[in-house]
Amino acid sequence: MKKVIIASDSTTDLTRDLIEKYDIRVLPLSVNLGGNTYLDGVDIDPDAIYEHFDKTGELPKTSAINLAQLYKFFEQCKSEAESIVFMTISADMSSTFNNAHTVALDFDDIYVVDTKNLSTGGGLMVLHAAEMAQKGMSGKEIAEELEKLAPKVDASFVINDLEYLTAGGRVSALKAGAAALLNIKPSIMVRDGKMVIGRKYHGKFRMVVKKYVNDVLENSTDINPKFVFITHSGVDADLLEETYQQLKEKNIFENIFISRAGCTISSHCGPDTLGVLFIRKQDIVLQ
């Protein structure tokens, strides 16, 4: 029997290679689209969402993992391990954390951690948890370390087009129209579990991404060099390669991963969204 199983919901957007390498268990959220319910990353992907939106103008609704799904999942994991550490998308963005916390009370040694993040912001915490498990740390010890790690996660994205945010009611049509007129590409940051507007860029998306990467990595002495993710919702392959080379040339990180965002992030931001996500050595001060 394993000592600790490291698990998360599907919003952590880890690649299949990383999931297999670290033996991470992933429980998908539900995606409701066109009158049907799918499982995120199992029988629906972002490209299907984009195709449906182009035809109908309808965006999906994502549903938190329910109590029954969580109970079955925890029961299976407990049959294989002494302890479970389960990480969720920010509790401010989904009720998955609260549901998981409630179900975990029926078991011993299940630790539910609110990543206070989304996408590979949470994925970074999963990787660090997996490495701690490999070192023989207990579930309780790992969960305690993750609570300290959460405020150090630097997660942000830059968005080429506000169409999806407007369709989802997160940005007014007036603001979106003004942004398009002025060619503004906003960045979105995650701070204390919430999404906030960061810097606003102007110009073509390719040049905006380059400037954005330079900006987020400006204070490199405060960066934990272990992992960095380039996470995107569907961008040009040349842009991904340019961004990868830009990060590589900075010689900051030991491991650079490229990850495609899943349905949850993609349905909010739409295509042509890209982020660079990593962990800092100190807590990020809210501004």
Question: What separation in angstroms does the CA of 5 have from each of 27, 46, 109, 131?
Answer: 13, 28, 11, 12
Say whether 108 sits in a helix, a strand or coil.
coil
The pTM of this model reads 0.94
Say whether 63 sits in a helix, a strand or coil.
strand
> How far is residue 148's CA from residue 150's CA, in Å, rounded to a whole number?
6
Nearest-5° Cα angle at 48, 42 to 54: 160
Confidence of residue 183 (pLDDT cuts 50, 70, 90): low
Q: Which of 51-55, 161-165, 210-214, 243-247 has the lowest mean pLDDT?
A: 161-165
At residue 219, the pLDDT reads 86
Closest residue by Cα to residue 232 from 43, 48, 13: 13
**β-strands 153-154, 273-280 pairing:** antiparallel
At residue 175, the pLDDT reads 43
Q: Which domains does the chain have, with CATH numbers?
A: 2-151 (3.40.50.10170), 153-280 (3.30.1180.10)
Is residue 167 pLDDT above 70, yes or no?
A: no
Burial class (CB in 10 A: 0-12, 13-18, 19+), 79: exposed
Is residue 70 pLDDT above 80, yes or no?
A: yes
Confidence of residue 264 (pLDDT cuts 50, 70, 90): confident
Torsion of CA 251, 255, 260, 263, to 10 degrees: -120
Share of the chain above pLDDT 70, in %: 92
Name the residue with higher pLDDT: 183 or 33.
33
Is residue 149 pLDDT above 50, yes or no?
A: yes
> How far is residue 142's CA from residue 108's CA, in Å, rounded to a whole number?
15
State the number of CA atoms in the 13 A half-sphere of 72 facing the CB: 6
Share the mean pLDDT of the chain: 91
Is residue 84 pLDDT above 90, yes or no?
A: yes
User: Could you read off the pLDDT of 191-240 as tens digits, one per residue?
Assistant: 999 888 889 998 999 999 999 999 999 988 999 999 999 999 999 999 99
